[in-house]
Structure 1
Amino acid sequence: MGYDIMKNNNTKRLAVSLLLIFPLLVFGQKRVEAKADRLFQKRAYALAADEYEDLLKHNWNTAYAHKQLAFCYFETREFDKALPHLQEVLGNDDLPLRYIWEYALLLKAEGKIEESEKWLAYSKMIKLKNPLIPRLSQDSTWHPVALLERQEYKVEPVSFNSKYSDFGARIYNDTLYFTSSRKTPENNSNYSWYDEPYLDLYYIPLSSLDQTPKALEGGIRSKYHESSPTFFKDYKGKNSVFFTRNNLKSGQYVVGKKRINNLKIYKGEQKKNGTWDMSRDLAINSPDYSNAHPF
């Protein structure tokens, strides 16, 4: 009888312990998921991915975590990481069309043409109607990811590339200008979308491509993103540039009605000492939508 009483007491203690622990586990899951979703809504995909990976690590809401991770890794261009998560969610009945496209594109980019075509056929079978699907079946060039499989030009990296993003090259007055998120003592704060430093404008003389590029100095440079320069001489004959930047006022972040910081196109002018000052933003700009990438 004493053994039975002790056994019952132990059972009760176990039940009470489980009742106490279970809410903590649920709270932990909700906290991690809420944090991940907040980062996702802010388009901080690199940081959000870490939180969704934590959900998988604890086996919490795995179907949702796989779907979100597929999106995050696609946006951060980590296609090898996106692929297995896409494979996990392809059987979901409520899966958006975007995910099937992305899976087919990644397969096509890897040279798995037949398998890619099967998923495009599947998308038609379940009546996901979209005029781009037949076009994708015939032409693999319409989406940036599919360009990975094409080799129309011989491309060689330049010696001054960094391990971060380097793009948007322009040539003006025998100088190569480009956009880079390379880390420097002046540019070491990371942007949460890609977990890389903010974009800056750099230049290097065409006659000295073995040198280290330098950042454009002057009022044109901020602690946030600058990219996509297009150079020209204005009606006064001044060296000028249109470029893209986060919406700033007196150096401070400005958000629109939806609490999003959008992009604006600005004009800059070169001073006599060679530095560049921001002249003005354009009348076509607005805090409520983005204008970017003048060409």
Structure 2
Amino acid sequence: MKKNLIITVLALISFSYVNAQDSSTKRADKLFDRFEFVKSAEKYLELIEDGNETDYIIKRLADSYYNIYDSNEAEKWYAKIIKNKDPEVIYRYSQMLKANGKYKESNKWMSSFSEMRPYDSRAIAFKNTPNYIDKIIGRGKKFNIQNIDINSEYSDFGSILKDKKIYFTSSRNTDRKSYGWNDEPFLDIYSSTINEKGSFLEPNLLEELNSKFHEGILSFSSDGNTIYFTRESFYEKEFEKSEENKNKYGQSYIYKATKLKDKFNIIESLDINDPSYSNKNPMVSPDGKHLYFSSNRAGGFGMYDIYKASINDDGTLSDVENLGQNINSEGQEGFPFLSNDNVLYFSSDGHLGIGGLDVFYSRYIDGKWSNVRNVGIPVNSGADDFAFIIDEENINGFVSSNRPGGVGKDDIYALKKIKPICDILLESTVVDSKTNNPIETALTSISDGTGVIENTKESNVDGLVAYILECGDEFNLVASKEGYETKSVAVKLTENDPPMLTIMLDPIEELIVDTKVELNNIYFDFDKFNITSKAAFELDKLVAVMNMYPEMKITVESHTDSRGTSSYNKGLSERRAKSTVQYVISKGINEDRLKAIGMGEEVSLFDCSKGCNEEQHSQNRRSEFIIE
């Protein structure tokens, strides 16, 4: 499992139960604390089989399986301690269910997690789009993928192409000692020449970069004379030693290898490295001016975040910058790749995906990274999918995965784009309907049937606001500004007709006509008195008017249709009027400024004594707002 790649980390997050350790678990705990999860799973399982089935041991066993991505066993053991209501256990359990294709049950436990951690970005994303899996799968596939013949029975991943060679990371060197995390040999960097038929020749170790420690995930400078790659900090004899268990914990460092006489033999550790955190997964931008990488340094949003740094003329780095919360989550983000058309691809287990690590992408617009999109199937699966790259023509590339059916634990897959990842630049200008002047700092957002899907943006001095949105979907663009009526415009995006919208906001005073505040009708469902989302949208306009005119008082008159008895309809209309008033009060308007009157069926827009259709009945069910 490449969730914690590369290679070692300062400490593994494990949510232990207090005072649960004892002498019987000492051996298993030692293996776990040294990240030897294959062996720790065996020891914890032995303890359980001997009758020592405590919550602590079950939790550690489940975490061991989780870290080697044995999703079936992790699901099985997390299920036994779900009763303890540990939020992170619930989250991991939901992810393992999802990885095993149990989407409905996974969503059930994600709902529980969201209730326990309502401000967690993972919970917020889920609540905004609870049916995201159907949406991802429903988009159809944009790529064909195929397992390539360079893969071995071990882990092979993280490929790049350069000068008719493929460079990749592998644990196939059986002359090396095994690494306890997954019980495979330490990682090395390999290269293989691609012949005229497009086949890969026998891979060779890249001797000048490899050591007795882990090496992997490399990127070339734009001129091809420098390689950036990841290596363990143990190479520098830099590590931290635990006072509790005396284990040595190294970090992942990024190194730079410069070519001299056709060999990359001038190797140096970058000055951004530090013994207190890891830097890994380096990637040079196409213009050669920036280095993108993943790090767990302090000040991030989650376990690992994606950063970028400027590459100076002398080769040093400066201006290290976190890419922000649109990219980074409470989980792990890594394996950044910036394509030739400036699309950032990366892997994450914190954004909404199909299971494990998924590949996502984002575009840079208006000085910010857009909300991330899932690349979809078959690039993503229920397993870990990562290290996505694509060529300069944005047609051919590679992705790595530990999905079922592969040759080894991690395999490299060739991919070919068969359908564009269709995004449209939606530009909109917000203007005053009376003067036609642009409105600066108007607040806009994008929503669909599931809720808000693009964060609020402000229009610029020209009233312009822009969003990157997916083709083929229907959206609502909502614009608001203090002193104006809020507007919502329906938009359907097609690749052939990129829209340029003008949203005209009416000044609030335009809503005041004679002795009424003229809103679009507030309709109620049959025999109901709850405020619908459409009704709330209109009532927010009333709130804006009353905020602009603090002395204004409003009488809410609520009406019913003629179905039902007169006395019943009178009571129903009173409940509707009170419900309307309560909504407005909840938005900060003093209750002394509002009065609720239920009119029943007395004043109908349509006389239904001889029958009405459903539309006419609907219009009779309304609220009106009288200025006192």
**Structure-2-length-normalised TM-score:** 0.37
Contact 2:194–2:201, Cα closer than 8 Å, also in 1? no
The yes-or-no answer on 1:209 pairing with 2:199 is yes
Give the 5 Å matches for 1:173-192.
173-185=163-175, 187=176, 189-192=177-180
Check whether the contact 1:45–1:73 (CA below 8 A) recurs between aligned residues.
yes
2:149 aligned partner: 159
Structure-1 separation of matches of 2:278 and 2:112: 36
In 1, Cα distance between equivalents of 2:69 and 2:62: 11
Q: Deviations over 1:87-107 (max 9, x none)?
A: 1111124x2x22211221222
Measured after TM superposition, the shift of residue 42 of structure 1 is: 2.2
- Aligned AA (2:199): L
Q: Aligned residue for 2:268?
A: 280
Which of the residues 198, 205, 219 maps onto 1:230?
219
SS at match of 1:155: strand
2:249 aligns with one of 260, 281, 288? 260
Does the 8 Å CA contact 2:260/2:266 hold for their aligned counterparts?
A: no
Structure 2 distance, partners of 1:155, 1:141, is 23
How far apart in 1 are the matches of 2:143 and 2:130?
A: 18
CA contact (8 A) 1:32 1:54 kept: no
Deviations 1:76-119 (A, max 9, x none): 111122110111111124x2x22211221222233322212221
For residues 119 and 163 of structure 1, do their structure 2 counterparts lie closer, same or farther at Cα, with a shift above 3 Å needed? Answer: same
Q: d(CA) in 1 for partners of 2:229 and 2:130?
A: 33
CA distance in 2, matches of 1:261, 1:52: 25
Task: Identify the residue that residue 18 of structure 1 maps to in structure 2.
Answer: none
Judged with a 3 Å threshold, the aligned counterparts in structure 2 of structure 1 residues 255 and 182 are, in CA distance, closer, same or farther, namely: same
Pair 1:135–1:294, CA change in 2 (3 A): same
Equivalences for residues 73-84 of structure 1 within 5 A: 73-84=65-76
Amino acid at match of 2:65: Y
- The answer to whether residue 31 in structure 2 is matched with residue 39 in structure 1 is yes
| 1:164 CA displacement | 1.7
Could you tell me how far apart the structure 2 residues matched to 1:228 and 1:209 are?
22
More helix by share: 1
SS across alignment from 1:100: helix
CA contact (8 A) 2:215 2:230 kept: yes
Say if 2:58 and 2:81, in contact at 8 Å, map to a contact too: yes
1:32 & 1:164 partners in 2: Cα distance? Answer: 33
- Note the C-alpha offset of 1:140: 8.0
Equivalent pair of 1:216/1:276 in contact (CA under 8 Å) = no
Q: Determine which of 68, 85, 89 is the counterpart of 1:99.
A: 89
Aligned runs of 1:118-157 on 2, under 5 Å?
Answer: 118-125=108-115, 127-129=116-118, 130-136=120-126, 138=129, 152-157=142-147
CA separation of 1:123 and 1:263: change in aligned 2, threshold 3 A = closer
Work out the CA distance in 1 between the residues paired with 2:132 and 2:141. 11
Give the % identical residues. 30
Q: Distance in 2 between matches of 1:233 and 1:201?
A: 20
Change (3 A) 1:65 1:175: same
Instruction: Give the structure with the larger strand fraction.
Output: 2
Equivalent position of 2:45 in the other structure: 53
| Mapped contact 2:194–2:200 kept (Cα < 8 A) | no
> Which amino acid letter does the alignment assign opposite residue 155 of structure 1?
I
Q: Deviations over 1:246-292 (max 9, x none)?
A: 0144xx643136542111111113343x5432521111111221111
Counterpart CA distance in 2 for 1:182 and 1:240 is 25
What is aligned with 1:86? 78
Q: Alpha carbons of 1:32 and 1:165: their partners in 2 closer, same or farther (altered >3 Å)?
A: farther
Over 3 Å counting, the alpha-carbon distance change for 1:154 and 1:140 in structure 2 is farther
2:159 to 146, 149, 169: 169
Instruction: Report the CA distance between 1:52 and its aligned residue.
Output: 0.9
Report which of the two structures shows the higher radius of gyration computed on alpha carbons: 2
| 2:225 corresponding residue in structure 1 | 239
Partner of 1:10: none
> Are the structure 2 counterparts of residues 140 and 77 from structure 1 closer, same or farther at C-alpha, using a change threshold of 3 Å?
farther
Note the aligned Cα RMSD (angstroms).
2.7
Structure 2 Cα separation of the partners of residues 278 and 66 of structure 1: 48
Shift of 1:151: 5.4
What per-residue deviation string (whole Å, max 9, x for no partner) do you get for residues 176-196 of structure 1? 1011111333x3x11111111
2:187 to 177, 199, 203: 199
Given that 2:193 and 2:200 are in contact with CA atoms closer than 8 Å, whether structure 1 keeps it comes out as: no
In structure 2, the gaps of 5 or more residues are 1-20, 243-247, 284-628
The aligned amino acid for 2:240 is: G
2:192/2:201 contact within 8 Å kept: yes
Q: Matched residue of 2:26: which SS?
A: helix
